Amino acid sequence: MAAITVRGLSDETHRALKAFAAQHNRSTEAEVRAILDDAVLPAERVKLGTLLAEIGKEAGIGIEIERNRKPDESISFS
């Protein structure tokens, strides 16, 4: 896992981070990780089936994917 060092962080910012961490019952380091994750990671990842259905719709191909099938059942495209 990667590590970074943040130099020149103001005392005010550090105090605010500690306060946020306390509100969320986690360490300051864990709070910083959560803030960075929220800032750079997509809110919701696009799932493959959704992406394929959108591509099919744009291409004029009617693709429907059964989402509630059991693991031992085969996938059916209609």
- The pLDDT of residue 15 is 96
> Is the domain of 20 the same as that of 35?
yes
Do residues 34 and 49 share a domain? no
Number of separate domains in the chain: 2
What pTM was computed for the model?
Answer: 0.54
The answer to whether residue 2 is domain-embedded is no
pLDDT of residue 75: 62
Instruction: Tell me the pLDDT band of 32, cut-offs 50, 70 and 90.
Output: very high
Which residues constitute the domain of residue 19? Answer: 11-40
pLDDT in tens, 35-71: 998 888 877 777 777 788 788 888 887 666 566 656 6
DSSP 12: H
For residues 31 and 22, what is the distance between their CA atoms, to the nearest angstrom? 9
